[in-house]
Chain A
């Protein structure tokens, strides 16, 4: 995994307005379904269009179960399930569906994958060698780990 040096000006907290320096994951772009299907061609006798339909059906089936409140096992990747956030109330009888403020999706990585991720080798790029998309807003000192997708705002590349 490649990381690059970034700087960030803190907007809140005891270090407000201070510029801090850290590292950010370098995302070279997502690997998409088409590329994956080409890679698994050898594992199947299905035609390209059938394999494509199969992957779409897989996503549809998983969505159906997650939306119906199930925890879905994705094999080597881990599990997906729905998650809820709710406001705290003083009595049990007030604890109704109306207190639920948001519904989302929770991913838990499989332990073996989490262990292998921890052991990944990390390369720090020199400041001018990256042409990739920002990795996103990774976790900070407070233990927040919020991002890592395509369009992060984790900081400015240090030149």
Chain B
């Protein structure tokens, strides 16, 4: 993992209020798989890769279960995952019901301040096209 954090962007032409304009858009570097994360964690701890894999997958699985039970889960250092509602408000209180007022349920994430602070400190570099990256 590079010690110098860098986020890539590239200009992209977009229609803004009917007018063609240019906006800086994120260029995502290659996706990091869970296997890579597990391998990195195993290197930096005393756990064997198989043990680390089993434990982290069980940990993520439990987070999923809690979310689907309607609970929020906080991962220290990263942030909080929570069930999120898309709702509709009505004028008549008698009409309030799940069917009437809930349009959907999603899973949201609120990053911890520490994570946001580290990401904000990353250098911004214009994408040259030579990197093997994917546009967002």
Contacts and interface: CB of A to CB of B under 8 A. Distances in A.
A and B associate in one complex = yes
B41 A58 contact: yes
Contacts of B84: 25, 138-139, 145, 147-148
A27 B82 contact: yes
B96 A122 contact: no
Contacts of A82: 7, 26, 119, 122
A128 interface: no
Interface in B1-60: 1-2, 5-9, 11, 13-14, 16, 21-34, 37, 40-41, 44-47, 51-52, 54-60
B85 A21 contact: no
A59 B76 contact: yes
A33 B102 CA distance: 30
Contacts, number: 331
A57 B45 contact: yes
A62 interface: yes
Contacts of B114: 63
B71 A28 contact: yes
Q: In which size bucket is the chain B interface?
A: 35 or more
Contacts of A5: 93, 96
A24 B52 CA distance: 38
Interface residues of A, number: 102
Given A3-B102, A43-B58, A77 B81 contact: yes
Interface of B: 1-2, 5-9, 11, 13-14, 16, 21-34, 37, 40-41, 44-47, 51-52, 54-64, 66-93, 95-98, 101-111, 114-116, 118-122, 124-126, 136
27 contacts: A1-B69, A20-B90, A20-B91, A22-B87, A23-B101, A30-B72, A30-B74, A43-B54, A55-B76, A56-B76, A58-B56, A59-B75, A61-B41, A63-B78, A65-B37, A69-B29, A81-B28, A82-B26, A95-B11, A104-B119, A105-B109, A105-B115, A117-B107, A122-B98, A138-B85, A148-B110, A158-B93
